């Protein structure tokens, strides 16, 4: 908005000068005044701009105390916290490390998925090292005017040092979030604004000396480390690269317990069960689960949060809120058959994995099966991946058995299956063998993809046809109740399974 007004004013002034010149008015004094104002304005812009400096001063001075938190308040990142604490000890015990000739670290790069606590760890680092905390986002340094970003980098470092002197602290931590915005790989050719900003950041980091106080440590965070310029990643700049991953089961339980401290929980609540069901959730998502569960309890005007509220909250975080879409009876029946196809195959290939089957519309889904992972697993065999594909194909296979054809509801299932097939090809788990998939012709890949999908679809359909009695018993129950728990589904499955003769 300000930029638009600035252009209008400049255009108006130029038009005014032209008009005055045409009618014979001496415009030289006015031109002189305009030049003086222009020079002053450009000088201010080269220093980062008075408005920007003021905003950053508020961030440096205002966030140094109230927003601090400790490492104990961050759950699920024990390895990452330990690495960061070790690096901070170099900053704190500077006299001791001199004896061993250790060069203090200048920068620490936190990488990992969104919501894993990178910003929280930077704040905890400032508290641990008793340092001034200056924070900025990478997008704040990017402008269309050359030199503005570089000026803001200079101001940020200067203000961090000045604030540390003012508060009589020996250390200052500068946190730059989304550093990939200004630290992306530089290309040849004409210099760009963010290239100058990156160059200024490199210069400032090279100018950090451990012997002078206040000592400055730069902590940066990114979700895309592969996008960063190699000059940033070399030793002497960002010396430590700390991976902040999604929490495992133990970490998820720790995070849930932290966010449950200020909430009234019913005695029957089992957070370890929620930790299992929330496989793949980030810390931010787990906090949202606890918050949504509290909202559900408040809606029902209850005094305490119950287990079912937490289960409902997981569904909401994963898929969104329930919708008001009214489906026809035939469509509800088709959705139920589709979801039971997923659930039955899941129970066959991975017994005990079904947590819930529902035909209640939520988000973009008309129905869904929530799976309960038996354990955290990061390495997968060919057999496991094939079973995942069969679970995904179960819905389409069930529709074919009962209706003789498929519907558009299987599109996401097919997309998921194709992604797993691609993973198998890249890992050398197909008939293509161990090869560079990039040099395999598209025709060969399509043939192998078709072979795998057809073979697994046939196996899936055969399994479902041999469990038709489970369909018959579970179908009406699911349609009437809308939601079937994993235990209820397994009872129906075990009572109606057809044993081989």
Of the residues 202, 219, 243, which one is the last residue of a structural domain?
Answer: 243
Same domain, 159 and 290: no
**pLDDT at residue 248, rounded to an integer:** 86
pLDDT > 60? residue 188: no
Residue 22 forms part of a structural domain: no
- pLDDT for residue 61: 41
Domain boundary among 299, 319, 339: 319
Supply the pLDDT for residue 451. Answer: 94
Which of the pair, 371 or 145, is modelled with greater confidence? 371
- Position with higher pLDDT, 321 vs 284: 284
> Looking at 65-74, 210-219, 248-257, 280-289, which range is the least confident one?
65-74
Helix, strand, coil percent content, the chain, rounded in steps of 5: 60, 10, 30
* Tens digits of residue pLDDT in 87-135: 888 888 877 877 888 777 888 999 988 888 898 999 999 889 888 998 8
Asked if residue 261 and residue 231 are part of one domain, the reply reads no
Q: Are 308 and 391 members of one domain?
A: no
**Angstrom distance (rounded) from CA 133 to CA 173:** 5
Share of the chain above pLDDT 90, in %: 26
Query: Has residue 169 been placed in a domain?
Result: yes
Q: Is residue 134 part of a domain?
A: yes
pTM for the structure as a whole:
0.70
Beta strands (DSSP E) in 61-130 are: 107-111
Residue 501 has what pLDDT?
41
In eight-state DSSP terms, residue 265 is B
Q: What is the pLDDT of residue 98?
A: 77
Same domain, 179 and 215: yes
Long-range own/partner contacts, residues 65-71 (CB < 8 A, 24 or more apart): 67/123, 67/133, 68/123, 68/124, 68/126, 68/127, 68/133, 69/120, 69/123, 69/124, 69/127, 70/124, 70/127, 70/128, 71/121, 71/124, 71/128
Asked whether residue 269 falls in the same domain as residue 121, the answer is no
Q: Are both 346 and 462 inside the same structural domain? A: yes
CA distance 136 to 149: 12
CA distance 43 to 214: 28
Is residue 292 domain-shared with residue 234, that is, in the same domain?
no
pLDDT band at 171 (very low <50, low <70, confident <90, very high): confident
Other beta carbons within 10 angstroms of residue 415's beta carbon come to 10
Query: Per-residue confidence at 385, pLDDT binned at 50, 70, 90?
Result: very high
Whether 481 is covered by a domain: the verdict is yes
Q: What is the mean pLDDT of residues 203-217?
A: 75
Q: Is there a cis peptide before residue 214, judged by omega within 30 degrees of 0?
A: yes
CA 238 and chain centroid, separation = 22
Residue 411 lies in a domain: yes
CB 302 within 8 A of CB 336: no
β 354-358/131-137 pair status: unpaired
Q: Kindly state the tokens that stand for 176.
A: 């730059």
Give a yes or no: residue 12 inside a domain. Answer: no
**Which has more confidence, 105 or 497?**
105
489 lies in some domain? yes
Closest CA to 214 of 56, 92, 119, 127: 92
Domain with 263 in it: what CATH number? 1.10.8.60
The answer to whether residues 156 and 173 touch, using CB atoms and an 8 Å cutoff, is: no
| Whether 274 and 378 share a structural domain | no
Please, which pLDDT band fits residue 1 given cuts at 50, 70 and 90?
very low
User: Which residue range forms the structural domain that includes residue 457?
Assistant: 329-495
User: What pLDDT is recorded for position 409?
Assistant: 82
Highest-pLDDT range among 86-100, 309-323, 364-378, 439-453:
439-453
Same structural domain, 105 and 201: yes
In this prediction, residue 342 carries a pLDDT of 93
Distance between CA atoms of residues 310 and 278, nearest Å? 10
Catalytic residues: 339
Of 80-89, 371-380, 423-432, the range with the lowest mean pLDDT is 371-380
Q: Provide the token pair at 21.
A: 């010149």
pLDDT, tens digit, for every residue of 22-58?
777 676 776 676 776 766 666 555 444 433 333 433 3
Specify the pairing of strand 171-177 against strand 215-222: parallel
Domain count, the chain: 3
Q: Which range, of 1-10, 372-381, 439-448, averages the lowest pLDDT?
A: 1-10
What separation in angstroms does the CA of 178 have from each of 78, 118, 182, 425, 463?
23, 11, 8, 33, 48
Neighbours of 86 (CB within 10 A): 12
Question: What pLDDT is recorded for position 66?
Answer: 41
Residue that terminates a domain, selected from 289, 319, 349 = 319
pLDDT, mean of residues 364-377: 72
What's the CATH number where 120 sits? 3.40.50.300
Distance, CA of 191 to CA of 71 (rounded, Å): 41
d(CA 235, CA 110): 15
Among 187-191, 197-201, 470-474, where is mean pLDDT lowest? 187-191
161 inside domain? yes
Per-residue confidence at 436, pLDDT binned at 50, 70, 90? confident
Lowest mean pLDDT among 108-117, 181-190, 283-292, 313-322: 181-190
Q: Tell me, what's the pLDDT at 67?
A: 52
Do residues 210 and 335 both lie within one domain? no
Give the domain CATH number at 418. Answer: 1.20.58.760
- 181: exposed, middle or buried (Cβ count in 10 Å: 0-12, 13-18, 19+): buried
Give the DSSP per-residue string, 301-350. Answer: T-SSB-HHHHHHHHHHHHH-SB--PPPPHHHHHHHHHHHHHHHHHHHHHS
Do 406 and 455 belong together in one domain? yes
pLDDT at 277: 82
Instruction: Look at residue 219 in the predicted model and tell me its pLDDT.
Output: 92
- In this prediction, residue 215 carries a pLDDT of 83
Same domain, residue pair 399 and 268 = no
The more confidently predicted of residues 417 and 94 is 417
| pLDDT score at 420 | 93
């Amino acid at each position: 908005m300000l930029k638009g007004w600035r252009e209008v004013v400049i255009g108006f002034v130029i038009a005014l000068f032209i008009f005055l010149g045409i009618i014979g008015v001496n415009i030289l004094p006015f031109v002189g005044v305009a030049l003086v104002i222009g020079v002053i304005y450009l000088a201010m812009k080269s220093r980062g701009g008075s408005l920007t400096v003021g905003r950053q001063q508020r961030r440096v001075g205002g966030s140094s105390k109230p927003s601090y938190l400790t490492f104990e308040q961050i759950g699920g990142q024990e390895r990452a916290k330990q690495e960061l604490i070790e690096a901070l000890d170099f900053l704190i015990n500077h006299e001791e490390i001199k004896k061993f000739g250790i060069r203090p670290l200048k920068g620490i790069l936190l990488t990992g998925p969104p919501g894993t606590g990178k910003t929280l760890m930077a704040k905890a680092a400032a508290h641990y090292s008793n340092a001034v905390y200056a924070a900025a986002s990478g997008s704040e340094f990017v402008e269309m005017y050359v030199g503005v970003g570089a000026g803001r980098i200079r101001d940020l470092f200067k203000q961090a040092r000045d604030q540390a002197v003012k508060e009589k602290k020996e250390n200052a931590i500068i946190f730059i979030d989304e550093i990939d915005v200004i630290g992306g790989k530089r290309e040849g050719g004409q210099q760009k604004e963010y290239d100058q900003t990156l160059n200024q950041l490199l210069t400032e980091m090279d100018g950090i000396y451990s012997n002078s106080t206040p000592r400055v440590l730069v902590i940066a965070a990114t979700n895309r480390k592969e996008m960063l310029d190699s000059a940033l990643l070399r030793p002497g700049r960002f010396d430590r690269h700390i991976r902040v991953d999604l929490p495992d089961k133990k970490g998820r339980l720790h995070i849930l317990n932290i966010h449950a401290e200020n909430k009234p929980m019913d005695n029957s609540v089992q957070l370890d069960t929620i930790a299992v069901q929330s496989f793949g959730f980030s810390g931010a998502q787990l906090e949202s689960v606890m918050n949504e569960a509290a909202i559900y309890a408040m809606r029902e005007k209850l005094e305490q949060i119950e287990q079912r509220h937490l289960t409902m909250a997981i569904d909401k975080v994963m898929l969104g809120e329930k919708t008001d879409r009214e489906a026809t009876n035939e469509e509800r029946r088709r959705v139920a058959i589709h979801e039971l196809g997923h659930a039955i195959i899941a129970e066959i290939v991975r017994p005990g994995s079904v947590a819930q089957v529902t035909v209640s519309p939520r988000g973009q889904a008309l129905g869904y099966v929530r799976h309960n992972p038996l354990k955290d697993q990061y390495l997968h065999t060919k057999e496991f991946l094939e079973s995942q594909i069969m679970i995904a194909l179960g819905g389409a296979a069930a529709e074919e058995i009962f209706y003789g054809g498929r519907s558009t509801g299987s599109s996401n299932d097919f997309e998921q299956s194709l992604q797993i097939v691609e993973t198998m090809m890249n890992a050398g788990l197909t008939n293509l063998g161990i090869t560079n998939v990039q040099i395999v012709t598209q025709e060969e890949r399509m043939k192998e993809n078709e072979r795998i999908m057809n073979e697994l679809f046939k196996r899936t359909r055969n399994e479902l046809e041999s469990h038709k009695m489970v369909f018959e018993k579970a179908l009406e129950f699911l349609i009437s109740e809308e939601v079937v728990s994993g235990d209820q589904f397994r009872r129906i499955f075990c009572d109606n399974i057809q044993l081989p003769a």
